[in-house]
Amino acid sequence: MDWRTKKGLLIDLDGTLFRGKTVMSGAREWISSIIQENMPFLYWTNNSTRTPKAVAYHLQELGFPAKPSDVYTSSMALSDVLIANHPDQMGDAVYVVGEEGLQAALANDFRVYARDKTPTSPFAVAVGLDRQVSYDHLRYAVRFILQGAKFYATNPDRLLWENDGLSPGAGSLVTLIAFATGVTPIIVGKPEASFVHIACKKMGIDALDALVIGDNPLTDIAAGKRAGASTVLIASELQQDGSEETKADQVILSLSELLS
């Protein structure tokens, strides 16, 4: 498949362009070539903890050309989905279990309460990865949802890779709150098709004309396929489970293969 025939690209970060401090082979060269060809694209990540500015800075440190406006995170998507679903509640209180990336994404359009600042009646509870979470924060989130606040989550990732090993991901916190409340959250990140649709809308294209590139069949590829986009998988130890939903249109071993 030739990415040049598409109208826009959604590019996963972790495991696709870099792994820890290691840049994947061909990654910088490929990003340079898509910029050279004026191909619309977004750095597209489930990681909810960083602001777009921080993501762009991190990419620049690794040698990638990146501006904050090139970045679309699950936190930004959560804010966009809240605005779309509750246009009458803009400016109202949202209780956040999440780090700077989620708090900042919501702060433009809502009154954000997090950590030890607790509102009396938020209309929504937004949950992402929060590595400083306490039992009190979880207690507030659970109580607000039981009182009727809408329950939104950035992503369902069970685990994440950190420099020294595996850690519980956002989805593990989300699951705790879902179990306690008995309420199913509205999830906005991969593998939900909505994360593809809303990112494509940002690029001004239809998902059918987009190409999703990622290393995780269960999240990147599933999201792309559900939305009707084309998909390329960078082969890794994240094995395909054999289901049709996670089978990419093309599997490559390295981004260098996209340069020719």
Residues that bind Mg ion (CB under 5 A): 12, 14-15, 215-216
Q: Which is nearer to Mg ion, 11 or 96 (CB)?
A: 11
Q: Which is nearer to Mg ion, 44 or 151 (CB)?
A: 44
Q: How buried is residue 1: exposed, middle or buried, by Cβ count under 10 Å (0-12/13-18/19+)?
A: middle
Pairing label, strands 41-45, 8-11: parallel
Q: How many CA atoms lie within 13 A of 15 on its CB side?
A: 20
Q: How buried is residue 214: exposed, middle or buried, by Cβ count under 10 Å (0-12/13-18/19+)?
A: buried
Phi/psi at 19 (nearest 5 deg)? -135, 110
Distance in Å, CB of 238 to Mg ion, minimum:
8
Say if CB 212 and CB 193 are below 8 A apart. no
Q: Where are the alpha helices (DSSP H) in 182-241?
A: 193-203, 222-227
Q: Which is nearer to Mg ion, 47 or 79 (CB)?
A: 47
Using CA atoms, how far apart are residues 28 and 11, in angstroms rounded to an integer?
A: 13
Distance in Å, CB of 28 to Mg ion, minimum:
17
230's CB contacts (< 8 A; 6+ apart) are 1, 6, 210, 211, 212, 224, 249
Name the residue among 157, 129, 167 with its Cα closest to residue 223: 157
Distance in Å, CB of 18 to Mg ion, minimum:
10
Distance in Å, CB of 151 to Mg ion, minimum:
25
Q: Which is nearer to Mg ion, 70 or 215 (CB)?
A: 215
Q: Which is nearer to Mg ion, 52 or 122 (CB)?
A: 52
Q: How many residues does the chain have?
A: 260
Q: Which is nearer to Mg ion, 14 or 209 (CB)?
A: 14
Q: Which is nearer to Mg ion, 52 or 217 (CB)?
A: 217
Distance in Å, CB of 114 to Mg ion, minimum:
26
Distance in Å, CB of 214 to Mg ion, minimum:
5
Longest Cα–Cα distance in the chain: 58
The pair of structure tokens assigned to 182 is 């008995």
Partners of 41 in the β-ladder: 9
Comparing every residue's Cβ against Mg ion, the nearest one is: 15
Distance in Å, CB of 20 to Mg ion, minimum:
12
